[in-house]
Structure 1
Amino acid sequence: RPCRREDFGIAILCTLPLEYDAVSLMLNKLWDENRSDNIYKISCISKHNVVLALLLSMGKASAISIAAGIYSKYYYV
């Protein structure tokens, strides 16, 4: 498990559950911060730490909202 949020540099935003499931299959590990306010998961693909999110609804507003939330915690994404 990465020790610092600065260790994450990639975010993957999925609009469909099918996309989210496909990306999930590529993950080596899946970590959860065990906080109820998270709508994304932290993980790694090979040596790259990634933040994986499934949008709550389709559209730019949802994507911007999720991206802003991720960026507020993982500012190297």
Structure 2
Amino acid sequence: MVAYRLMAGELNGEIIKDRGPMVAQMVAGRQVIIHNEKGKELSRLKWGEYFYIEPGAAFYFSADGDAGINMVLFEIK
């Protein structure tokens, strides 16, 4: 398992693909939106919540610039 820490400035809409499975968990902040590669909203994460991302899925994160985001992305290898 590998863990990545993501802050608000790193949620730049860059598509993540061919990874996983993964679990995204909010540690602090208002809200992070998870989108599929075509921009469709998959989920909204708030503090303390998590979201399972299937292996090989293409997705990206977005958030308000001042949202104080701190989240962890766990990748199971």
Which category of TM-score, normalised to the shorter sequence, fits these structures? under 0.3
The higher relative CO (CA closer than 8 Å, separation ≥ 6) is in 2
The structure where helix makes up a greater share of residues is 1
Q: TM-score, normalised by structure 2?
A: 0.26
Q: TM-score, normalised by structure 1?
A: 0.26
